[in-house]
Structure 1
């Protein structure tokens, strides 16, 4: 079996210790490369997790506004970037900015903005509440937002119909470490074993020989995606929403008026 390091895609190693020697020799360089990454791209999903049926709670939507609650990230899982997000990873970024952009597929375009003021917060959770058939605690980073049908109708219908079952975080790394298999260092081996047991899928650590431990990151946005690097990121619920402020009420009135004009035209 060949072992790889994702930051050096052209390198292949014949065994874990061959890989480990390279990591130790290039440790600081490797960390700098990792910190320079802006994490958005989705890679093949980490497999081997036992899932169970999960359905978001979706009301009978009769309004042209909906309120949506989504999981942008769940901690304590080694994702396809080989990142293990620790439980406090989002504490500072949420404290610094309790709002987040919510986008379609990480697209940095005006027409892809689902919400520019989604409530961003953390909730203690368990993977058995998010679609895995296992009792294992995690922290869910949440985006909760209002979506108007006329603003981005495709995504309104996607959430309304329960089609959005994964999300992803656009983030910058702030504080991290690397855990790697090292037969020559009891300290490193202890760290590797300790950290992998904090994940719901420690077999990934054994398979790859290393993984990243992410203590803190800065959240730039959360996105609806088809495939995320962490697939345990569902939509939790979708509800009807009644406009509260004058801008929303005027938008709702205008939308209702347009609908009525169309109905009248068809009837005539």
Structure 2
């Protein structure tokens, strides 16, 4: 995250500032609604499939069924955040039937474009997401019945396969600072526990720290 109005002589000075003001920064991050990045960037291809499968066999003229990915875990995003495995587990259990499929993050009835039939977390191979990395991560999935009478234009865009990137809005509940500096024992411990799981590890190492999100509310 960029700190407006602050410059630092080196990375240690920047991390020291974050540690000193960690409480205030965390309060701010928890208070604001956060929207995930629309894509994961693969430095070799710059293309990522955000919907692993899109079955069209049950499409009708009024309803189409799609499986969407709204968030991928263990990825350093543009906010300097990394969502850890299980970030939404508690929220999904508590709010499964209270989450809407909206367009452009507009929180109103007229922004509905589909009816979620299932929201869940599932393991996904990094390479299935377009990332040249062995192993797996976790993604947030939503099965949705997209309805023409909600929004005919967006319905047609989905049907034509023109919409394949999705983002979710959330509030952070549990966050920790991870920092690659052994002088900050608590933050260094969080770093060592999670850095090898991060899909874009080299970017995290270049930044020198990240905000490890353990729980968020959809």
Q: Does the residue aligned with 1:10 lie in a helix, a strand or coil?
A: coil
Matched, 1:124 2:104: no
Matched, 1:28 2:23: yes
CA RMSD of aligned residues (A): 2.5
Matched, 1:15 2:10: yes
1:247 aligned residue: none
Aligned CA distance change for structure 1 residues 147 and 97 (closer, same or farther; 3 Å)? same
> Stretches of 4+ moved more than 6 A in 1?
none
Contact 1:176 1:215 in 2 (8 A): yes
1:77 aligned residue: 75
Q: Which has the higher contact order (CA 8 A, sep 6+)?
A: 1
> How big is each residue's C-alpha offset from its partner over 1:190-230, in whole Å with a ceiling of 9 and x where there is no partner?
432432211111112222222110111101xxxxxxxxxxx
Matched, 1:157 2:159: no
Contact 2:175 2:212 in 1 (8 A): yes
Matched, 1:57 2:50: no
1:103 aligned residue: 102
1:208 aligned residue: 207
Aligned counterparts of 2:170 and 2:213: Cα–Cα separation in 1: 11
> How big is each residue's C-alpha offset from its partner over 1:95-121, in whole Å with a ceiling of 9 and x where there is no partner?
112232111110123332113544211
Q: Does the residue aligned with 2:100 lie in a helix, a strand or coil?
A: strand
Aligned counterparts of 2:26 and 2:185: Cα–Cα separation in 1: 21
1:88 aligned residue: 86
Aligned counterparts of 2:37 and 2:5: Cα–Cα separation in 1: 20
Aligned counterparts of 1:27 and 1:195: Cα–Cα separation in 2: 19
CA deviation after TM superposition for structure 1 residue 186, in Å: 5.4
Q: Does the residue aligned with 1:132 lie in a helix, a strand or coil?
A: coil
Aligned CA distance change for structure 1 residues 102 and 84 (closer, same or farther; 3 Å)? same
Between the two proteins, the alignment pairs up a number of residues equal to: 213
1:115 aligned residue: 114
Task: Give matches, 1:176-255, under 5 Å.
Answer: 176-185=175-184, 188-219=187-218
1:224 aligned residue: none
* TM-score, length of structure 2 as denominator length: 0.85
2:138 aligned residue: 139
Aligned CA distance change for structure 1 residues 37 and 217 (closer, same or farther; 3 Å)? same
| Structure 1: gaps (5+ residues) | 220-268
The range that moved more, 189-198 or 167-176, is: 189-198
* TM-score, length of structure 1 as denominator length: 0.71
More strand per residue: 1
